[in-house]
Structure 1
Amino acid sequence: MVNMSLVLERDGGELRYGDLVGERRPVVLTHGAGLDHRMFDAQAAALHEAGHRVVSWDQRGHGESSLEAGARFTATTALDDLVALLDHLGLDRPILIGHSLGGNLVQALVRRLPERAYGLIVMDSTWNAGPLTAVERLLLKLAAPSLALIPASRLPGIMARASAVTPEGIAECEATFARMPKRVFLDVWRATVSLVAPEPGYRTPVPLGLVRGDRDRTGNIAVAMPRWARAEGMTEHVVPDAGHVVTVDAADAATKVIRGIIDGWDAA
């Protein structure tokens, strides 16, 4: 487990992060909506063992990071937090790995500031810049209002069963989701949706890796990620027997894929 004792003060809250020293290129791990840094514990340990400097952090209102009373979680503040963390640590073109909302965030960062990242690994996240069908646009619009109708007491369990497929994964996700107030979770969901901004012809300007669980049925990920891979002329990595939270459902397999992608970049 990563020691999250380090703190970066930000307007509206404070960010907790861990920094594992290594000689190889830094890797920054950004978790998904409603989750926290622990979803990457196995991968952080393996990447550190392989010699990388590894930074894990909790987004504001998640895990050990705070969200001040009255403050709101937005895509803009989340993206600014990530940039501030990179600046604070003086990281020179790290590898950015993001899951779900974290994947949307790191896509947005590279789209705005491509010179800040060496490479991008997106896990179980939709394609921000990709085309959307009319049905996909409607489902995105209805996502937060639909979640708002679910009683707060039932929301963590419903979301956990939609996110993981193994009993251990479901239990871990439900316990983590239950720590977040419903109003914050809805803000987080709205932020995720707001990062989807189609731009025909846009292609990722840094090395890219795409990873998803073969049983991920969240949003349009199962169709958007293959579409993205075809557009970029690459192969996506589909992890068997895993749902949306692939790093928890299939930790060893997900770790192997991540290390394979990074080692491939190094060899090239």
Structure 2
Amino acid sequence: MSDSADLDPSRFATHRFAGRGVELAYVRENIGGFPLVCVHGWPETKRIFWRVIEPLADAGFEVIASDLRGFGESGISADGYHDVPSSSRDLVALLDHLGHERAVLLGGDFGGPVIQDLALRFPERVERMVIFNSPLPYDKSSMSDMDTRPRAGAADYFIRQGTDPDGLAAELTTPAQRRAYIATFYTSRFWAHPGAFCDGIVPGGPAVDFHTEPFADGDTLRASFGPYEATFSDAARSEPALISRNPDVETLILFGASDMVIYPEFDRMAAATFPNHVGPFLLRDCGHFVPWEAPNEMVSATRAFCRDLMAS
């Protein structure tokens, strides 16, 4: 169940930064705490962190949660790029704007590759990482005995959004159709733990309405397909993404194991990708949307992982 504050779009003040050719909309709570940058995925916006922002701020973090370019209240990029490196560089520009040299990064889904890229591209800016339910690089030497393939049929959306984004966007002609499409990822596609997004016993309800509302606009929905398009098209990539094994950054690994879209052995794959890790910790009755489905667990684990940073 969600309380009214969880579903209030104005719960936290939204700030704006005219960054690298695109305006970013972001939340910033507890200024002066240790910087923690929360990076959403798809089909999400900064709202996916609504349940963890306040308790993380109370724990001593300065919580920064931005809508990535092309998502939510942020602008659509004039250069047409909505890929991993563009968002990674946007977040570094935002840190510069806020006066932060280093930060802890927290991300899942598309936000996972974004923070992985940022940590490899700008290692001097990253204190630690918290990663959950995200795409990971495949390393045959360390993962050959792991179940690294998502469930059969789970990638149909990925292929369509990546190879025919204009055709898909053209089929979704009304705000209601666009929101209904996004709603399936919270309900019938089994990304979330069963019942996580229900109104009583009926899939959907106010929480799904809250998370689908930012995708009602046609241009925003089309821009949100950009990360998938960049997987298949060189023209959609601003530059190659840096996604590889990272032995240097200390990384907390969380896994909502009810997730039917991510790798069945995400936990083992992440442990191999980030040798300097804490965990992996498997979250009971939790799927893809970890900050929403398991907010208490995420907050307590992140707080413990960074306790020494709070003390300093």
Give TM-score, length-normalised by structure 2: 0.71
Question: What's 1:39 paired with?
Answer: 48
Q: Which runs of 4+ in 1 moved over 6 A?
A: 132-135, 137-142, 192-198, 264-267
The 1:139/1:164 distance shift into structure 2, 3 A limit, reads closer
**1:160-208 per-position Cα deviation (integer Å, ceiling 9, x unaligned):** 2233231255554444444565432322323478887675xx3331211
Q: Percent identity?
A: 23
- Which residues of structure 1 form unaligned runs of 5+? none
Q: Which amino acid aligns with 1:228?
A: A
User: Contact 2:256 / 2:288 at 8 angstroms: preserved in 1?
Assistant: yes
SS at match of 2:68: coil
Question: What's 2:7 paired with?
Answer: none
Q: Within 5 A, what are the aligned runs for 1:71-82?
A: 71-82=80-91
Q: Distance in 1 between matches of 2:19 and 2:89?
A: 13
Moved more, 235-244 or 223-232: 223-232
The 1:35/1:197 distance shift into structure 2, 3 A limit, reads same
Q: Distance in 2 between matches of 1:53 and 1:185?
A: 27
Q: Distance in 1 between matches of 2:283 and 2:309?
A: 20
Q: Which amino acid aligns with 1:164?
A: A
Q: Distance in 1 between matches of 2:50 and 2:253?
A: 20
User: Contact 2:85 / 2:117 at 8 angstroms: preserved in 1?
Assistant: no
* Greater fraction helix: 1
Higher CA-based Rg: 2
Question: What's 1:167 paired with?
Answer: 197
Q: Distance in 1 between matches of 2:101 and 2:23?
A: 23
Q: Distance in 1 between matches of 2:307 and 2:260?
A: 29
RMSD: 3.4
Q: Distance in 2 between matches of 1:92 and 1:207?
A: 17
**1:3-59 per-position Cα deviation (integer Å, ceiling 9, x unaligned):** 113323331x21112222344421111111231111112221111112221211111
Q: Which amino acid aligns with 1:145?
A: I
1:114 matched to 2:157? The reply is no
For these two proteins, the number of residue pairs brought into alignment is 264
1:104 matched to 2:147? The reply is no
1:186 matched to 2:225? The reply is yes
Question: What's 1:145 paired with?
Answer: 159
SS at match of 1:10: coil
**1:203-255 per-position Cα deviation (integer Å, ceiling 9, x unaligned):** 331211011212012232x3233222156265212111111001112222322
Moved more, 249-258 or 205-214: 249-258
TM-superposed CA distance for 1:112, in Å, is 1.7
Q: Distance in 1 between matches of 2:214 and 2:300?
A: 25
Question: What's 2:280 paired with?
Answer: 236
TM-superposed CA distance for 1:89, in Å, is 1.5
The 1:158/1:28 distance shift into structure 2, 3 A limit, reads same
